[in-house]
Chain A
Amino acid sequence: MTKTLTTLAAAAALTALGASGAAAQDATKACYIYVGPIGDFGWSYQHHQGLLEVEEAMGDDVETAYLESVPEGADAERAIERFARSGCDIVFTTSFGFMDATNKVAGKFPDVKFEHATGYKREHPNVATYNSRFYEGRYVQGVIAAKLSEAGVAGYIASFPIPEVVRGINSFMLGAQSVNPDFKVKVVWANTWFDPGKEADAAKALVDQGVDIITQHTDSTAPMQVAAERGIKAFGQASDMIEFGPDTQLTSIVDDWGPYYIERVKAVHEGTWEQHDVWAGMAEGHVVMAPYTNMPDDVKQMAEEVEAKIKSGEFHPFTGPVNKQDGSAWLAEGDTASDEELLGMNFYVEGVDDKLPN
């Protein structure tokens, strides 16, 4: 219904555009497609916070619209095309699964700018891609987990076996191994980005199997709540989830899209927008760690040091020697992984106790 309402609003805006073209030219119209509801308090919520920051920063210079809970599939193409037709100057498609749909629609609307989050295809000059190096935060989480876990096992609730998620698991694992080479990670695939009930069930299953720290790559706050209930520790996802586990959350990787969105919408407004592929991390402020809580001072200090090293570029989470899961060599001593390798990552590093679904 919200979706329908927004659609109606978009249609109304289209009519208004036809009626008074002059007025509409002043404001740049930025449109957003979300994969989940803006009330998920996770991934889509954070993108929407970015939209709100754009509104605040640009005032009358910008007009916004969004469609939420757009499924990754045939519907996505329709939704994106609807936006392109309704006078949007720039369309942000904020999920990996929108990649092909975005490029397809972009080919039909050369005057509209498209920005696709977390993807790698730029088939037309009006498509840009952007992503954040969340794996930097996951490395820090791994370090903390290995320092704190008494069981020596962490639970990892994963969504889909795409490079983004696999990279996160690997980075977490490398971080943990830097402290405890024998550290184990139990991975459970929820096969969904967002289903609080199922995420909670996955968390319960992991706790019942003896993990004492949980981290997640799904979007709801349910795993944090389960961890709090069972008295173990957990890492938040996408937003600061401390409210859901005041005595539970160790830290959270917070996605801060606001500054990027403001920069890009302004570029469209000023006519300086250009295609690019941005992959920014802690250094640029796209990946922010929520305060380190519920841990002893020495662990906190260690986490802060690792964070600072990654931020300054002194240390790359994927630094050799690293072997692949099957024991074959991947990165030699001192080598770091290239962005291409990271973006297409479809294998586990040595020590991950799971078979990668393909």
Chain B
Amino acid sequence: MGMLEAILLTVATAATPLLLAAIGELVSERSGVLNLGVEGMMIMGAVTGFGVALTTGSPWLGVFAAIAVGALFSLLFAFLTLTLVTNQVATGLALTLLGLGLSGMLGEGFVGRPGVKLTAIDIPVLSDLPLVGKLVFGQDPLFYVSIALTAAVAYFLFYTRAGLTLRSVGDNHGSAHALGIRVILIRYLAVMFGGACAGLAGAYLSLVYTPQWVENMTAGRGWIALALVVFASWRPWRVFAGAYLFGAVTIGQLHAQALGFGIPSQLLSSLPYLATIVVLVLISRNRRLTMVNTPASLGRPFVPDR
């Protein structure tokens, strides 16, 4: 396996959890709900995925359980913010704190136990192609899921009627409501989709990335996913680009260090953040387009009979 191929593979592994979590949050935000609980939902997915996979021996059961728990956990957020109309920012932060603490408690028995790994697929001949073989045909299944999800969300949001409805709810919930669209229901579904994706991203961490359970293992990836959504101005393929750019610079700087370029490592470590922000700000620099893309009702509470 050549060096370039090896690097590209690692980049995909680093980018996939970010992409999964960000694409879910994008749908939630497009419907007008800002859920800062991504980190919390992600870590709940990680502990559930690990635990279920370890006890049943099946990583796939772990993946599905993580998706379910992510969705359920976000349902709690949806109930509080949509039905009880609590503040979305505060509730989202609380969800993150709750997730980090609860996962630590639930995962106490899993610490120090090697997990079950979701193995990469292997297509004879194709996987052995030079350079692209492993990259295109020999990755873990969730990698393909993340790409498919991005495509599906991009198609859904911009080429389907349901997607248009979801965006209209996010842009102006008052008008959408007046047109007879069930704003709250749509937001519930969007938030739960976001939760499911975050749960899946968590499972990716504990079943593929580093198949083990340790507390706080998300290490801030939920926050990076959140930032990616904003800097990508709520466009699915830009989120994809942002996640891969972030992954590429993260991996690239580690290689630069190992090669001994003599650049201060603190600077190198901050590069992924700098590069991602700069590039995404540049591609989103058209203010008019950005305004069009920003969900106008984002974070605003909605009470139907007002």
Q: Which residues of A contact B (CB under 8 A)?
A: 1-5, 36-41, 45, 68-69, 155, 161, 186-192, 194-202, 204-206, 208-209, 220-222, 225, 239, 243-244, 353-355, 357-358
Contact = CB atoms under 8 A, between A and B. Distances in A.
B88 to A, nearest CB: 20
A284 to B, nearest CB: 26
Max count, chain A CB within 10 A of own CB: residue among B10, B214, B219, B255: B214
Contact of A188 (B101, B111, B257, B262): B257
A192 B105 CA distance: 24
Contacts of B112: 41, 45, 221, 239, 243
B264 interface: yes
A34 to B, nearest CB: 11
Interface string B183-227: 000000000000000000000010001111111110111000000
A2 B105 contact: yes
B74 to A, nearest CB: 17
B219 A198 contact: yes
A93 to B, nearest CB: 19
A191 B219 CA distance: 13
B210 A243 contact: no
Contacts of B275: none
Contacts of A221: 112, 212, 214
Interface size class of B (residues with CB under 8 A): 35 or more
A4 B105 CA distance: 13
A222 B101 contact: no
A354 B217 CA distance: 29
A209 B269 contact: no
Given A41-B214, A45-B111, A188 B258 contact: yes
Given A205-B257, A225-B212, 15 more contacts: A1-B98, A2-B104, A36-B215, A39-B108, A39-B215, A196-B209, A197-B205, A202-B254, A204-B6, A205-B251, A205-B255, A221-B112, A225-B114, A225-B210, A354-B260
Contact of A1 (B13, B97, B221): B97
B258 A39 contact: no
B272 to A, nearest CB: 10
A40 B215 contact: yes
B282 interface: no
B33 interface: no
B257 A194 contact: no
A69 B101 CA distance: 11
B21 to A, nearest CB: 13
Given A39-B108, A191-B269, A222 B212 contact: yes
Contact of B216 (A37, A198, A199, A208): A37
6 contacts: A41-B111, A197-B17, A201-B251, A204-B251, A209-B259, A221-B212
A77 B224 CA distance: 27
B237 to A, nearest CB: 24
Interface string B248-286: 001100110111101011101100000000000000000
A200 B17 CA distance: 14
A196 B214 contact: yes
Shortest 5 CB-CB contacts between residues of A and residues of B:
A1-B101, A37-B215, A189-B265, A39-B215, A205-B254
Contact of A208 (B6, B213, B265): B6
A220 B214 contact: yes
Contact of B214 (A37, A188, A206): A37
Contacts of A40: 214-216
A301 to B, nearest CB: 29
Contact of B219 (A155, A186, A189, A194): A194
Nearest to A3: B101
Max count, chain B CB within 10 A of own CB: residue among A4, A37, A192: A37
B66 interface: no
Contacts of B210: 196-197, 199-200, 220, 222, 225
Contacts of A1: 97-98, 100-102, 104-105
A222 B214 CA distance: 10
B258 A205 contact: yes
Nearest to B98: A1
Contacts of B291: none
Given A191-B266, A208-B6, A196 B104 contact: no
B14 interface: yes
Contacts of A5: 101
A38 B251 contact: no
A241 to B, nearest CB: 8
Given A37-B104, A40-B214, A201 B14 contact: yes
